Amino acid sequence: MAHPHMGKGYAKNRLKVTRIGLIVIGLIIAGLLFATKGMADDHRKARGWFEREEQHHSPLFGRNDEGNETAGQMAAWLLVAANLPVALSLLIKWTNTFVPMGNGLKGALARFNRFQKKHLMRFHYLINPLVLGIALWHWLSSRCKSTALPEWGLAVMIALIALGLIMKFRLCPKQFRKSVYRLHTQPLVFLTMVMVLTIGHLIVD
């Protein structure tokens, strides 16, 4: 007869696998979208679903502006760096749970995970607000009215970072903290942000 807690453990592990799978699938799709960026001009008919009448316009400077690409690239790379400790932690936990290995190696990975979280997670909380500031500057200096997708992605980014700060500094009542944590760590929300920003920038380019 199965242990009464086996069902819960199996469901929890399956949920972890699903989350990691969604992250991997999202990163692959985002990579494919960036890889096919050069072919975007061959699919202009598809842009009609998202296009606006006006094109590139910078409300900050009051003139046409193709945008500060450097700021956009900085925001993208800093976003990767800020969330690398989280991705690394998920990968280590998945490895320890599903990859057959000795207890010694599992213990070493667990200790390394505690070490990297202790020393790197601080950058997760420091860099993400910086990413938001650079992203806002990038949007203001290169705002493109041909599509609203970058604004939607930016709105999701603001929400995710705000939830992280609320969770970090405990700015909400205790009964809501669990819900804030679940929403902040929900892979689908992060993947939605990445996909919307990626597609929006492909359309702009």
Average pLDDT of the chain, as a whole number:
77
pTM of the model: 0.70
Residue 155 has pLDDT above 60, yes or no: yes
pLDDT band at residue 157 using 50, 70 and 90 as cut-offs: very high
Q: According to the model, what pLDDT value does residue 81 have?
A: 92
Per domain, the residue ranges of the chain are 6-204
Q: According to the model, what pLDDT value does residue 10 have?
A: 56
pLDDT tens digits for 28-43? 555 555 544 444 444 4
Q: According to the model, what pLDDT value does residue 73 have?
A: 87
CB 22 within 8 Å of CB 194: no
